[in-house]
Structure 1
Amino acid sequence: MAELVAVVAGATRGCGRGIAVELGAIGATVYVTGRTTRSSASPMNRPETIEDTAELVTKAGGKGIAVRCDFSVAADVEALASRLDRLDVLVNDVWGGDPFVEHGTPFWESDLDKALAVHRNGIETHLIALHKLLPLMVRQGSGLVIEVTDGDDETYHGVALPYYLVKSGIRRTAQAMGAQLREHGVTALALTPGFIRSEAMLEGMGVTEENWRDATAQDIHFSMAESPHYIGRAVAALATDPNVARWAGKSLSSWSLMREYDFKDLDGTQPDWGRWYDDIFGKGLDPHAVDPADYR
């Protein structure tokens, strides 16, 4: 198989970084895109940079190419597209909405500007990425598009309305693109992580990647936390699956694909957030009375 060329939109940190690195681990050339560079911070005000991620991609065995790109700016994405002769994998992981989400506040009492900013950051960016980058795949008659979301169905879990609309909208985007792109040889799907152990989450819990299990004392559900590499390995499995078209239009998850492809997280376990959620929240099992190891 020829070396894969991938674009990871929103690869600065979190899922995007884990995905980019795991694509590097299968030898891909990865265009690592985002807004935060070593010389220019984004409104997210985080220390991670696209250059850091690109170096991790190369260290993993691929070729990381850092490209600053604001996916809310069509000209930025057009400039990115102009650098590509072909594109095998597009991972649409742009988010940047956390500073604007008001969970726990009734929508009619929330800040409207913040609500609209969530939509702009979470939906409009994805549409711009698709509009400017899909022509490459359509022309070559092949490719894989992965829309990264939160959740694999439309169940409402009490989150802020704009957040729910963005994440469900991404799933519906994948459904529509899966249908539209099939005749062009391109597969589009949606993918969600479970309880993600991102840099921001670790920081918020007061732990590191090395001692993350200590945070289960604060939140027992954190015992199911998965590193960003877990969803990255799901993406790598999809990218190397010759029958990936069978997933077109579907909303998939790290745990469902673990069952399909049998990959493991960094610690050698296989966290199954879906089964944990079904047992604890669906069947009413006491999370303190079960062994988390049985779900990993």
Structure 2
Amino acid sequence: MRTQDVQGKKDEGPLAGKVALVAGATRGAGRAMAVALGEAGAVVYATGRTTRERRSEVGRAETIEETAELVTAAGGTGIAVPTDHLVPEQVEELVGRIEREQGRLDVLVNDVWGGDHLLEFDKKAWEVDLAAGLRMMRLSVETHLVTSHYALPLLIRRPGGLVVEITDGTAEFNTAHYRGNLFFELAKYGPVRMAFGLAEELREYGGTAVCLSPGFLRSEEMLDHFGVTEATWRRAVEKDPHFAVAESPAFIGRAVVALATDPGRARWSGRSVSSGELAEDYGFTDTDGSRPHAFAYFEEVVFGGKEATAEDYR
């Protein structure tokens, strides 16, 4: 049934005929990447724990059904599949469904997280809540490993498969700067090494694995934190001047599409990059036509003391 859907879109985008799984597509970067892949014509399986019937521990209202509808509205085929990626049986069933319905998997985006509500900054490793810290590790590392274990045998059936590990911070940035919580530090460095290791394992199958980080992301949660919307986000710069370098979630979505449509993407395999870096290379822009490069701004201006403003890095 779904295979016909894929074939019916063969002339409607650069990724028409391709199948993607965005694990952790409920909101934020995950939702944006799913929508961007759909806009490029792909069939996108969007997974997460929050549905119209049930909310996850994160407690936000965004649902995977909404994400799937946005994917379809953008021109792709969105398919919402409620999945807890810490439950191997659910992930195995998810991949089995993709195999039955599509017979292929071309892009895997490992974006599962959902641990921001567990963060405790300015506390030592022996002072933070141990259960919360270990939960963050499971959410950011174990979920990605479980998903790759079941999804990659389907992805490697055809040469050219792409795995994108999503994290917070590039390897270079996270190595140079402590992120304020030891568990968070490890949780966000895990995907960097997973992309490195998967690049080695996928090479003989013609596959590529990249670790990708957004910059200062204007997620739904971040906008709520500042009391603004995507349309009024610049008002938040009064509260935090660094927010002037923030990027919309669409920016990382365009970064993933740039990778997925690049026949020479193997040059990125095993590397840790940011949306800003890829924008400089591929030439895509954010929704306002700018190319924000948050990590360069923080490294050179905030930590390096360079005389410049956030606007100079857009």
Q: TM-score range by the shorter chain?
A: over 0.9
Q: TM-score, normalised by structure 1?
A: 0.96
Q: Does 1:24 align with 2:38?
A: yes
What secondary structure, in the 3-state scheme, does the structure 2 residue paired with 1:108 have? Answer: coil
2:35 and 2:22 map into 1 onto residues whose CA distance is 10
1:126 to 144, 161, 170: 144
Structure 2: runs of 5 or more not aligned: 1-13
8 A Cα contact 1:156 1:164, kept in partner: no
2:96 to 82, 96, 107: 82
Deviation at 1:213, TM superposition (A): 0.2
8 A Cα contact 1:276 1:295, kept in partner: yes
RMSD of equivalent CA atoms: 1.3
Q: Does 1:49 align with 2:63?
A: yes
8 A Cα contact 2:301 2:309, kept in partner: no
Q: Does 1:97 align with 2:127?
A: no
Structure 1: runs of 5 or more not aligned: none
Corresponding position of 2:289: 268
Deviation at 1:281, TM superposition (A): 2.6
1:272 and 1:47 map into 2 onto residues whose CA distance is 30
- Alignment identity in percent? 52
Q: Does 1:208 align with 2:229?
A: yes
Q: Does 1:173 align with 2:191?
A: no
Matches within 5 A, 1:100-249: 100-153=118-171, 154-249=175-270
8 A Cα contact 1:115 1:162, kept in partner: yes
Range moving further from structure 2, 177-186 or 132-141:
132-141
2:236 and 2:193 map into 1 onto residues whose CA distance is 34
Corresponding position of 1:259: 280
Q: Does 1:294 align with 2:312?
A: yes
2:128 and 2:231 map into 1 onto residues whose CA distance is 38
Deviation at 1:99, TM superposition (A): 2.0
Deviation at 1:291, TM superposition (A): 4.4
Corresponding position of 1:38: 52
Deviation at 1:40, TM superposition (A): 1.0
Amino acid at match of 1:94: V
What secondary structure, in the 3-state scheme, does the structure 1 residue paired with 2:176 have? Answer: coil
Amino acid at match of 2:129: D
Corresponding position of 2:76: 62
State the number of aligned residues: 293
8 A Cα contact 2:167 2:192, kept in partner: yes
1:244 and 1:237 map into 2 onto residues whose CA distance is 9
2:236 and 2:49 map into 1 onto residues whose CA distance is 30
Which structure 1 residue ranges, 4+ long, deviate > 6 Å from structure 2?
none
1:206 and 1:183 map into 2 onto residues whose CA distance is 49
2:183 and 2:310 map into 1 onto residues whose CA distance is 32
